[in-house]
Amino acid sequence: MIRIKELSYRFDEQKELSFPDWSLTPKEHALILGPSGGGKTTLLHLMSGLLKPTTGEVMIGDTCISDLSNSRLDRFRGDHIGFVFQKPHLIPSLTVKANIRLATFLGKTSADKVADVMEDLGIADLAHRAPHQISQGQAQRVAIARAVVNKPVVIFGDEPTASLDDQSCEAVVDLLKAQARACGASLVLATHDYRVKSQIKNHLNL
Amino acid sequence: MNIPYLSLKSLVKKPLTTFLSWLLLAFGVTIVVIILLASSQLKSEISKNAQGIDLVVGAKGSPLQLILANIFHVDFPTGNIGLKEAARVSKSRYIGSAIPLSLGDSYRGFRIVGSTQDYPRLYKAELAKGEWFEDHMEVVVGAEVAQKEGLSVGDTFESQHGLSEDAEAHGGHAFQVVGVMKPTYTVMDKLIVTGIHSVWEVHEHEGEHHHHEEDSLIEISHLGISVTSEEFDEKEITSLLISYRSPMGAVMLPRSINSESSFQAASPAFETARLFNIIGVGVKVLNGLGLLIIIISAISVFVALLNSLKERKFDIAIMRSMGATRRQIFAHILIEGLLITFAGAISGLVIAHVAMQVVANTIGGIAPEPWVILQEEWLVLAGCLAIGVVASLIPAVMAYKTDISKTLAKG
C-alpha cells in the first residue's frame, strides 16, 4: 500500500507544489498524469524518498519514509523500490549483467535472481555486452530488469515511454505491467503520454 | 561485486586518461626511488669499503683523489711517498695499525695492490683456494677477478704498467697466482693482492738487479714488512691505510702529518661526506624533479576525476536511486583515485628496482643489492596514497553531495 497525505514541496520562495491526498492498494497500477512542469516528477521523487517533503507524509507499506534517516532511506530504496527512467541510463563501464548485478549489490539482496530476470526479459544473451553495444529498446529492457531484480514493493516509472515509438511504447508498458505483477509490486508511472492512458485505468491528475 | 570493483571498471572504461595518470606517477616515483636506492647503496658501499680505515696518508694532492684511489681504487693515485719517511710517520703513538699500499700496475683493468696480508684481512677476506702470498711475485686474486679472468691457483700472468686496460705490458716479470679469495662483496673482490716487494720488483729498471741480501734486512714491524737498507732509503709506496689507536688520533694525527711531513692525510669519512655534498646538489635537483612529476600526476588524477564526474553525474544519481548511500558514492570516487595512485606508486617502485638490477648487472663490481627494500620506500608509497587521497577528495565530496532529484529530473 502507498499513501500520501497533505504532501507539499517548496522549491523556493515563489514556487511551492502541493499534492492531493492519494492512496494505492498493493499490486495496483496507476498513472500520474499532468502537463510538463506540473509536478509529476517531483511527486514521484517525493514518493520514492529522493526528495524530502516540506510538509506531509509518504507511507510505503508500514513505513513512513518521510521519517527515515538519509542512510535508512537509501537502504529502503534499494530494497523496496525499483526505478525506470525515460532513458535507460545504464552504467557505461559495466556489462549488461553487471548493471543488473549492481542493483542487487546496492539493494543488498542475493544475486541469484539476476540470471532468471534476464531470461524473463529476453536479454540473457546480451549478458556480456557493454551498454553502448546494445539497442535502445534492449537497453530499456535491461533498465526494467534492473528495476525488478530486487523484487520491489513498488516500481516507479518517470516517462518510461516518452522516447519510444508506438509499438515499443505498448511493449514496454506491457512488460512493466507483467513484471510488476510477477514480483507483486505496485506500478506507478508518471507520464504525459496519451498512448499509455488506455493501458492503465487508474489515474491521478495533477 | 563491491565498490573497488566499480572503481576499477570505471578506470578501465577510460584507458587513456588512466594510463596518463599512471604513467606520470610511475615515472615520478621511479626517479625518487632510484635516487633513494642509489644514494643508500653508495653510502653502504662506501662504509663497507672504508671500514677500519680512519685515515689515508699519501702524496700531496687532492684529498678526495687520495681516498678514491687508495680505498675505492677508482681514481689514479696522487703520487708516491718515500718508504723512509712513511716508516717514520707511521711510528706515531696515535696510530693503532698502518697498512702500506703500493699501486701502479694492473692486469686487464684489475688493479694489482702491493701490500701485506693485513690488507685482505682488513676486509675479512678468506681464501677459497690456495694460500696467501709469501714469496716474490706471488699473488692472491679477488673473487671477481678470478671469475672474470678465469684465474686459478698455479696460473701466471704479466702485469701492465698503469691502471688502465690498454696499458703497456711489463716484460719478463710474471706473477703467479697462489690463492683465490672468497667473495667479500667489497672492493677486495676486484683486486689482485701481492707483497709490496713484488710491485717494486716489476718496476726495477733493467740492469739494476735485485740481490737478496738477507743479512742486512731492516724490519719495519709496524708496517709488517722487512726491507734492505738500500730499499729503505730508496723505495717508495703509494699510501698508508691507518686506523687510530684512540679517538685522540682523529684530533692530533691529521694535523701533525699535514704540517710536519711532506705527506697529506685524508679522512675517508670527511672526504666522502664532502663528496656527498658535491653530488647532493644534483640529487636534490633530481629529487625535486621527481616530486614535481608526482604532483603533476596528482593534478592529472584530480582533473580526470573531476571531468569524469560531469559525465557520471547521472550514473551516480542512478546508483543512489538504486540504494547506494552517500558514503558508498564517496568511497567509489575516492577509491578510484587511490587505485590509480597505488598502481602508479607500486609500478614506480618496481621499475626503480629493476633499473637498479640492470645497472648492477652492467657495472658489475662492488655488489649493489637492487632488491633491498628501504624504509623510505614505504614512505614514498604512503606519500603517494596521501596525494591520491588529496587529489580525489574534492571530486569525492562533490559526488557525495550530488543532488539526485535535480539530476534525475533533468535526465
Q: Which domains does chain A have, with CATH numbers?
A: 2-205 (3.40.50.300)
Q: Is B176 helix (H, G, I), strand (E, B) or coil?
A: strand
Q: A75 to chain B, minimum CA–CA distance in Å?
A: 5
CA atoms within 13 A on the CB side of B345: 22
DSSP state of B234: H
How large a percentage of chain B has pLDDT more than 90? 34
Residue B209 has pLDDT above 60, yes or no: no
Residue B206 has pLDDT above 70, yes or no: no
Q: Name residues whose C-beta falls within 8 Å of residue A122's C-beta, 6 or more positions apart in sequence.
A: A141
Identify all chain A residues contacting B10, using CB atoms and an 8 Å cutoff: 93
**Nearest-angstrom CA–CA distance, A42 and A51:** 8
Which residue on chain A is closest to B314 by alpha carbon?
A89
* CB-CB contact of B84 with B295 (8 Å): no
DSSP state of B262: S
* CB-CB contact of A29 with A186 (8 Å): yes
Query: In this complex, is the C-beta atom of A107 within 8 Å of any C-beta atom belonging to chain B?
Result: yes
pLDDT, one tens digit per residue, over B56-115 is 999 998 999 999 889 988 888 888 999 888 888 888 888 889 999 999 888 888 899 999
In this prediction the ipTM stands at 0.90
Q: Domain locations in chain B? A: 3-46+281-410, 55-266
- For the record, the C-alpha cell of B271 comes out as 672526504
* CB-CB contact of B294 with B345 (8 Å): no
Residue in B12, B327, B328 nearest the CB of A93? B12
**Residue B112 pLDDT:** 92
**Residue B212 pLDDT:** 53
Q: Is A54 helix (H, G, I), strand (E, B) or coil?
A: coil
Mean per-residue pLDDT of chain B? 86
Q: Are B314 and A89 inside 8 Å of each other by CB? A: yes
Helix (H) or strand (E) holding B109: none
* CB-CB contact of B363 with B300 (8 Å): no
Q: Are strands A22-24 and A16-18 parallel, antiparallel or unpaired?
A: unpaired
- For the record, the C-alpha cell of A65 comes out as 519514509
Q: Are A93 and B327 inside 8 Å of each other by CB? A: no
Question: Given strand A203-205, what is the order of strands in its sheet?
Answer: A81-84, A154-158, A186-191, A29-33, A203-205
Let me know the angle formed at the C-alpha of B255 by B250 and B256, rounded to the nearest 5 degrees.
Answer: 105
The mean pLDDT value for B198-226 works out to: 70
* Closest among B349, B339, B383, B296 to B36, alpha carbons compared: B349
Mean per-residue pLDDT of chain A? 88
Residue in B6, B323, B405 nearest the CB of A45? B405
Residue in A71, A92, A94 nearest the CB of B325? A71
Identify all chain B residues contacting A83, using CB atoms and an 8 Å cutoff: 318, 321-322
The residue that leads in pLDDT, A131 or B217, is: A131
Residue B342 has pLDDT above 70, yes or no: yes
Q: Are A85 and B322 inside 8 Å of each other by CB? A: no
pLDDT, one tens digit per residue, over B297-327 is 889 889 988 988 888 888 899 998 888 999 9
- For the record, the C-alpha cell of A99 comes out as 548493471
Sequence-distant contacts of B35-44: CB under 8 A, at least 24 apart: B35/B283, B35/B286, B35/B287, B35/B290, B36/B352, B36/B374, B36/B376, B36/B377, B36/B380, B37/B352, B37/B353, B37/B356, B37/B370, B37/B372, B37/B374, B38/B356, B39/B276, B39/B283, B40/B374, B40/B376, B41/B356, B41/B368, B41/B369, B43/B276
**Residue B136 pLDDT:** 85
Query: In this complex, is the C-beta atom of A140 within 8 Å of any C-beta atom belonging to chain B?
Result: no
Identify all chain B residues contacting A74, using CB atoms and an 8 Å cutoff: 320, 323-326
**Residue A110 pLDDT:** 83
* CB-CB contact of B191 with B119 (8 Å): no
* CB-CB contact of B135 with B142 (8 Å): no
The residue that leads in pLDDT, A103 or B214, is: A103
**Nearest-angstrom CA–CA distance, B184 and B119:** 13
Q: Are B323 and A158 inside 8 Å of each other by CB? A: no
Residue in B10, B12, B322 nearest the CB of A103? B322
* Closest among A189, A178, A123 to A155, alpha carbons compared: A189
Query: What would the DSSP string read from start to end of A79-144?
Result: HHEEEE-SS----TTS-HHHHHHHHHHHTT--TTHHHHHHHHTT-GGGTT--GGGS-HHHHHHHHH
Q: What's at A30, amino acid-wise?
A: A
Identify all chain B residues contacting A106, using CB atoms and an 8 Å cutoff: 319, 322-324, 328
**Residue B4 pLDDT:** 93
Query: What would the DSSP string read from start to end of B34-77?
Result: HHHHHHHHHHHHHHHHHTT--EEEEESS-HHHHHIIIII--S--
- For the record, the C-alpha cell of B11 comes out as 578506470
Identify all chain A residues contacting B408, using CB atoms and an 8 Å cutoff: 41, 45, 50, 85, 158
Which residue on chain A is closest to B325 by alpha carbon?
A74
**Nearest-angstrom CA–CA distance, B166 and A112:** 77
Q: B312 to chain A, minimum CA–CA distance in Å?
A: 9
pLDDT, one tens digit per residue, over B122-166 is 999 999 999 999 888 899 999 988 988 899 999 998 888 877 766
Query: In this complex, is the C-beta atom of A71 within 8 Å of any C-beta atom belonging to chain B?
Result: yes
Q: Are A101 and B323 inside 8 Å of each other by CB? A: no
Which residue on chain B is closest to A94 by alpha carbon?
B9
Residue in B12, B325, B408 nearest the CB of A74? B325
Identify all chain B residues contacting A105, using CB atoms and an 8 Å cutoff: 1-2
Query: In this complex, is the C-beta atom of A68 within 8 Å of any C-beta atom belonging to chain B?
Result: no
pLDDT, one tens digit per residue, over A106-155 is 888 888 888 888 988 888 899 899 999 998 888 988 999 999 998 899 99
- Mutant choice from A65, A91, A155 vs B, greatest count of B C-beta within 10 A: A91
